[in-house]
Amino acid sequence: MVRTPRGYAPDPGFLEAFLARMPELAHPDLPRWDLEVLEPLRDSADFTPTDWLRIANAIARREADYDGFVVLHGTDTMAYTASALSFLLRGLSKPVVLTGSQLSLVHPRSDGREHIVTSLLLAATCRIPEVTVYFGARLLRGNRAQKVQSDDFLAFDSGNLPPLARVGVSIRIAHHLVRAPGPGVRPPIVLDRSPHVVAVRIFPGITREVLAAMLRPPTAGVVLETYGAGNFPSGQAELLDELRAAIDRGVVVVNCSQCHGGAVRQDLYSTGRALADLGVASGHDMTPEAALTKLYYLLGTDDDPARVRRRFTEDLAGELSRPA
């Protein structure tokens, strides 16, 4: 990103020139690296699922050629991309580290320089064959990460899983949390369809009309972001009626908490039980970002709503803890 009269924006050629001027990248302790720029350059706020597939295929085509991969990515939708890649790259055998910066690389205090250097080391030398996010001296599982700060350098956190590694003078890996390597990814990575998936954040006063507008065709999947342990305004029967009608016509509806930590327990309160009775799938302790990208991936590869609903509750890539 560089400064423009309309604010920071991507600039073709800037990254290549900047990396060429970084003396750290020529240090003998760093791995050899190649740079591939995926054109067109896009602000991550403009990303769509097509971009997730572009990145996934760029990695899959080269998985056998490199020890690891670093994806330089804007912070706004990094958690979505990291989550999506964890599902698209199932079977991954090499580390994939997403990183970026809170301050643009043009800024003298940019946190991006250290993030790039450490991410290269993590990808090349630390055998963590997962999609991860490195930010603020912590390596987080990608589908557990969320952006929680717009100003602080500790921009990302993982509310339901400790970091896979902490970086200080040394790199301390939580080996007991790291998933085993897969057999590898076979390109090309494609989806059979581009499903319409929406996130609906529940709020006090939500009306039938608002909910109905989000549920109507062509919507195929819905992530309800509910209160606390998965609670919904079940006293408003008309809202339940709209959900029931959507589920009856094959829409897959799943339940995630708005809270950064903790889990959905639809059996704990009557307001959550009402969703379970309708056939709403529990998101357990998934982040909304992981739930949305997982639902997109499943609906993109399977047109059976019952099977998608069942698979949604299974752990595919470390995105959820198995309920007790």
Q: What is the pLDDT of residues 132-164, one digit of tens each?
A: 999 999 999 999 999 999 999 999 999 999 999
Q: Taking residues 228-238, what's their average pLDDT? A: 96
Are 159 and 207 in a shared domain? no
Mean confidence (pLDDT) of the chain: 95
CATH of the domain at 207: 3.40.50.40
Confidence band for 323, pLDDT divided at 50, 70 and 90: low
The last residue of a domain, from among 121, 150, 177: 177
Per the structure, the count of domains in the chain is 2
- What is the domain range of residue 114? 14-177
Contact 196, 220 (CB under 8 A): yes
Q: Does 141 fall in a domain?
A: yes
The last residue of a domain, from among 177, 206, 225: 177
Q: What is the pLDDT of residues 65-80, one digit of tens each?
A: 999 999 999 999 999 9
Q: Taking residues 165-193, what's their average pLDDT? A: 96
Are 201 and 150 in a shared domain? no
- In this predicted structure, the answer to whether residue 6 has a pLDDT above a threshold of 90 is no
Q: Taking residues 295-301, what's their average pLDDT? A: 98
Are 164 and 224 in a shared domain? no
Rounded to two decimals, the pTM is 0.95
The DSSP secondary structure of 108-121, one letter per residue, reads TT-SHHHHHHHHHH
Q: Taking residues 205-229, what's their average pLDDT? A: 97
Are 260 and 222 in a shared domain? yes
- Tell me what pLDDT residue 43 has: 92
Are 97 and 200 in a shared domain? no
Helices (H), the chain: 14-20, 49-60, 78-88, 112-125, 208-215, 237-248, 270-278, 288-301, 305-312
Are 233 and 271 in a shared domain? yes
The alpha carbon dihedral of 305, 211, 79, 176 has a sign of negative
Are 159 and 301 in a shared domain? no
Least confident of 37-46, 224-233, 237-246: 37-46
Least confident of 6-20, 130-144, 265-279, 280-294: 6-20
- In this predicted structure, the answer to whether residue 10 has a pLDDT above a threshold of 90 is no
Q: Does 54 fall in a domain?
A: yes
- In this predicted structure, the answer to whether residue 246 has a pLDDT above a threshold of 60 is yes
Are 105 and 205 in a shared domain? no
- Tell me what pLDDT residue 3 has: 81
Q: Does 149 fall in a domain?
A: yes
